């Protein structure tokens, strides 16, 4: 279908900058930051293909994980798995692994602009139609969605990504403090030059030299004292560049659609 073709992104980023056409690899990378305390982010999940981590995500309900649409495999590729309650990337019980049902990208999503790069994956049902719900416990919990743009307040990202270019995946969950940039600044000619829409937010590391250089694609931008998902890491320039800050999908713009999508599927 037309909608299916629209989200068949081959793990690459087509520039949203007007008049430009660079490619940047979508890979997991948090430069700077620190190891997270074990299970301090119980909503974090690892989205995997072939036993390898490819994207992050956030657990928002018993059977729902929020991630980026570009994390989906193309037709014919190996199906995704979701691992919950994870701190060490390679250390988990098989009970923590779930299969993914048919994903539902936002109807406006298109890989050429990354607009609507958001997807609540109806997860946790195997190909054998064995429904399973994620039971909240000490290491697995749900996280709420933000209802407003969290401009300027303390936020953070987390993931099992590389800590330096050319490195390996982190064996444990890492986290980084970030803040949401002013959209006008992010859109000026020195930065993304008008390529950022109202459904996107730009983020930057709080510490000098730190950056969530995709900070695990699909992972959440978490803001506020009560920790809510304000964004979903979407794309970057493919290299560390202070003038090309990482971009996330603004969750508050899609909150109503997310809630309606979940309600319809859960009937």
Enzyme catalytic residues: 70, 117, 217
- 37: DSSP letter: P
Burial annotation 106-144 (CB, 10 A radius, 16+ → b, else e)? beebbbeebbbbbbbbbbbbeeeeeeeebeeeebbbebe
**What is the number of other CB atoms lying within 10 angstroms of the CB of residue 211?**
25
Whole-angstrom Cα Rg for the chain: 17
CB 31 within 8 A of CB 211: yes
Cβ atoms 229, 143 nearer than 8 A: yes
Distance of CA 223 to the CA centre of its chain: 14
What is the spatial distance between Cα 243 and Cα 150, in angstroms, rounded to a whole number?
21
Nearest to 46 by CA among 12, 8, 92, 114: 92
How many Å apart are CA 35 and CA 14, to the nearest integer? 31
Cα–Cα distances (Å) from 10 to 21, 86, 213, in that order, read 16, 26, 19
Instruction: Work out the burial of residue 146: count CB atoms within 10 Å of its CB; fewer than 13 is exposed, 13-18 middle, 19 or more buried.
Output: buried
Alpha helices in 12-109 (DSSP H): none
């Amino acid at each position: 279908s037309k909608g299916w073709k629209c989200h068949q992104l081959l793990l690459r980023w087509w520039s949203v900058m007007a008049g430009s056409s660079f490619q940047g690899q979508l890979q997991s990378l948090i430069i700077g930051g620190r190891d997270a305390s074990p299970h301090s982010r119980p909503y974090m999940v690892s989205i995997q293909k072939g036993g390898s981590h490819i994207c992050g995500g956030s657990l928002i309900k018993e059977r729902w994980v929020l991630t980026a649409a570009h994390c989906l495999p193309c037709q014919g590729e190996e199906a995704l798995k979701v691992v919950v309650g994870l701190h060490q990337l390679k250390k988990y019980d098989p009970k923590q692994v779930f299969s993914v049902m048919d994903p539902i990208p936002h109807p406006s999503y298109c890989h050429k602009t990354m607009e609507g790069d958001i997807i609540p994956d109806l997860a946790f049902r195997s190909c054998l139609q064995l429904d399973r719900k994620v039971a909240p416990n000490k290491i697995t919990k749900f996280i709420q969605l933000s209802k407003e743009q969290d401009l300027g307040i303390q936020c953070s990202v987390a993931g099992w990504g590389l800590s330096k270019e050319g490195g390996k995946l982190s064996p444990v969950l890492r986290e980084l403090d970030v803040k949401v940039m002013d959209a006008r600044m992010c859109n000026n000619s020195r930065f993304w030059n008008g390529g950022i829409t109202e459904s996107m937010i730009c983020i930057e590391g709080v510490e000098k030299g730190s950056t969530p250089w995709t900070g695990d694609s699909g992972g959440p931008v978490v803001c506020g004292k009560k920790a809510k998902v304000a964004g979903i890491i979407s794309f970057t320039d493919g290299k560390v560049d202070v003038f090309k800050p990482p971009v996330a999908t603004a969750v508050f713009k899609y909150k109503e659609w997310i809630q309606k999508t979940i309600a319809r599927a859960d009937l």
